[in-house]
């Protein structure tokens, strides 16, 4: 078994000019509630430690079975080479001291290290006693002390590092499958962040054979499969495309509606992909799709509506009833009122 360790050297990830946090930044947010002597010592200790870690921030440990990527000794990504799955771990306090424990929350892996400083909180939790000692009165209202420290240190790090270069270095170190990433992105609501998470990546790996079959038979439907997986739709057994067709047929989607779906692509249905419910929820997008297909068939469309018209329907309700009426923005009207000859030709 081969076993290797290496680090991605700072080429440099650190800028020539560093911008450490200033005492006044903290005092302005928590006036009269900070021990200035302890605060000055705390800033110097944390900043010196962070800069030291950022000189060689990415460590890679690899053998025949796994690939481990560790960021500043705080977050560890473990890729199983055989299954393609991976998990993340964060350094945290346990009864046995500081140890890596599996992270249950979803984290961004592509691009990794989202530009929000979230990883700093993991780092700071290891230094909680030092941080807590700076605050004189923990009961005073205002911005949380942890939030203040996290925000100000993150601002300093953004100014002191080539963050995009560092993020790309992490992406290279993780070495994720580009095809899995492409499938993972298709069908996802654009109202959520554009990062692929560990959960989404592993879910795509788990259904890799289904994705491959859809890619061979009709790649236009990859987005639909991802959206159904994200919404936890239980598909009938069988091949993925046939299962999706059977599921939608059970929701009163006719063969004509299925043809519209199968001959279109994600771009033509982005108003469904990006649908938001009345209470701001994203789940329920698949439930809107049969309504839209029946609506479009009622208009006797042979292809998708042009983009400007589709935008009119974004986040609105639409449906058809057994009498041939069409509901648009909760108003029922005859099909002829919004017939395609009045909607205009395709662009």
The C-alpha atoms of residue 242 and residue 261 are separated, in whole angstroms, by 13
**Least reliable range by pLDDT among 142-151, 160-169, 210-219, 270-279:** 270-279
314 band by pLDDT with thresholds 50, 70 and 90: low
The C-alpha atoms of residue 75 and residue 86 are separated, in whole angstroms, by 13
Sign of CA dihedral 226, 228, 234, 238: negative
The C-alpha atoms of residue 186 and residue 229 are separated, in whole angstroms, by 11
Q: What is the pLDDT of residue 343?
A: 45
Q: What is the pLDDT of residue 189?
A: 84
Cross-strand pairs, 159: none
Q: What is the pLDDT of residue 296?
A: 81
Q: What is the pLDDT of residue 341?
A: 39
**Least reliable range by pLDDT among 2-11, 32-41, 183-192:** 2-11
Most distant CA pair in the chain: distance in Å?
78
Q: What is the pLDDT of residue 113?
A: 84
Helices 255-263 and 240-249: crossing angle in degrees, nearest 10, is 140
Q: Among residues 205, 192, 188, 194, which one has the least CA distance to residue 269?
A: 188
Q: In this structure, how many other beta carbons lie within 10 angstroms of the beta carbon of residue 76? A: 20
Mean pLDDT, the chain, integer: 85
Find the mean pLDDT for residues 273-289: 80
Q: What is the pLDDT of residue 10?
A: 46
**Least reliable range by pLDDT among 165-179, 236-250, 323-337:** 323-337
202: CB partners within 8 A, 6+ apart: 85, 86
Domain residue limits, the chain:
3-174, 178-343
345 band by pLDDT with thresholds 50, 70 and 90: very low
CA angle, residues 226, 215, 206, in degrees to nearest 5: 50
DSSP string spanning 90-110?
EEEEETTEEEEEE--S--EEE
**Least reliable range by pLDDT among 19-28, 215-224, 276-285:** 276-285
- Residue 34 scores a pLDDT above 80: yes
- Residue 2 scores a pLDDT above 60: no
Sign of CA dihedral 38, 44, 47, 48: negative
- Residue 213 scores a pLDDT above 70: yes
Judge if the upstream peptide bond of residue 12 is cis by omega within 30 degrees of 0: yes
The C-alpha atoms of residue 120 and residue 74 are separated, in whole angstroms, by 9
In the chain, the percentage of residues whose pLDDT exceeds 70 is 87
Helices 36-55 and 145-160: crossing angle in degrees, nearest 10, is 40
Q: Each residue of 78-116: pLDDT tens digit?
A: 999 999 998 999 888 878 888 888 888 888 888 888 777
In the chain, the percentage of residues whose pLDDT exceeds 90 is 53
Q: Are 222 and 187 in contact (CB under 8 A)?
A: yes
When mean pLDDT is compared over 30-44, 128-142, 329-343, the highest value belongs to: 30-44
340 band by pLDDT with thresholds 50, 70 and 90: very low
Q: Among residues 325, 271, 269, which one has the least CA distance to residue 298?
A: 325
SS3 of residue 318 by DSSP: strand
Q: What is the pLDDT of residue 270?
A: 86
320 band by pLDDT with thresholds 50, 70 and 90: low
In order of 84, 182, 209, 226, 292, the CA distances from 212 in angstroms are 15, 12, 5, 13, 27
Q: Each residue of 140-162: pLDDT tens digit?
A: 877 899 999 999 999 999 999 99
Q: Among residues 279, 248, 277, 283, which one has the least CA distance to residue 262?
A: 248
Which helix or strand (DSSP H or E) is residue 47 part of? helix 36-55
Q: What is the Cα 319 distance to its own chain's centre? A: 31
Helices 198-206 and 208-217: crossing angle in degrees, nearest 10, is 70
Q: Each residue of 324-337: pLDDT tens digit?
A: 677 766 777 776 66
Q: What is the pLDDT of residue 225?
A: 97
Q: What is the pLDDT of residue 342?
A: 41
18 band by pLDDT with thresholds 50, 70 and 90: very high
Q: Among residues 120, 116, 97, 99, which one has the least CA distance to residue 108?
A: 116
Q: What is the pLDDT of residue 287?
A: 87
């Amino acid at each position: 078994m081969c076993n290797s360790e290496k680090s991605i050297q700072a080429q440099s990830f650190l800028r020539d000019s560093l911008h450490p946090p200033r005492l006044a930044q903290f005092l302005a947010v928590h006036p009269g509630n900070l021990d200035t002597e302890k605060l000055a010592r705390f800033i110097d200790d944390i900043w010196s430690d962070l800069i030291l870690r950022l000189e060689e921030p990415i460590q890679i440990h690899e053998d025949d079975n796994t690939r481990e990527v560790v960021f500043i000794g705080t977050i560890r990504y473990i890729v199983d080479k055989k299954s393609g799955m991976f998990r993340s771990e964060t350094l945290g306090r346990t009864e046995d001291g500081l140890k890596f424990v599996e992270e249950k929350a979803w984290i961004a892996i592509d691009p990794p290290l989202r530009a929000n400083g979230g990883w700093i909180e993991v780092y700071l939790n290891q230094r909680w006693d030092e941080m807590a000692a700076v605050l004189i009165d923990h009961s005073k209202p205002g911005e949380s002390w942890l939030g203040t420290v996290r925000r100000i240190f993150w601002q300093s790090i953004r100014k002191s590092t080539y963050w995009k270069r560092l993020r790309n270095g992490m992406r290279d170190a993780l070495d994720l499958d580009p095809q899995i990433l492409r499938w993972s992105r298709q069908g996802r609501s654009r109202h959520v962040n554009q990062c692929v998470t560990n959960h989404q990546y592993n879910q795509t790996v788990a259904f890799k054979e289904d994705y491959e079959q859809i890619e061979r038979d009709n790649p236009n439907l990859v987005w639909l499969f991802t959206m159904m997986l994200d919404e936890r739709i239980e598909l009938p057994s069988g091949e993925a495309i046939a299962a999706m067709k059977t599921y939608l047929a059970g929701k009163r989607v006719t063969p004509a509606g299925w043809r519209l779906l199968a001959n279109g692509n994600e771009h033509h249905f982005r108003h469904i992909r990006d649908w938001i419910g009345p209470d701001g929820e994203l789940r329920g997008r698949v439930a809107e799709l049969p309504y839209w297909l029946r609506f479009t068939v009622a208009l006797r469309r042979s292809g998708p509506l042009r983009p400007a018209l589709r935008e009119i329907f974004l986040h609105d309700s639409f449906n058809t009833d057994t009498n041939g009426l069409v509901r648009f923005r909760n108003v029922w009207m005859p099909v002829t009122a919004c017939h395609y000859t009045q909607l205009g030709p395709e662009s």
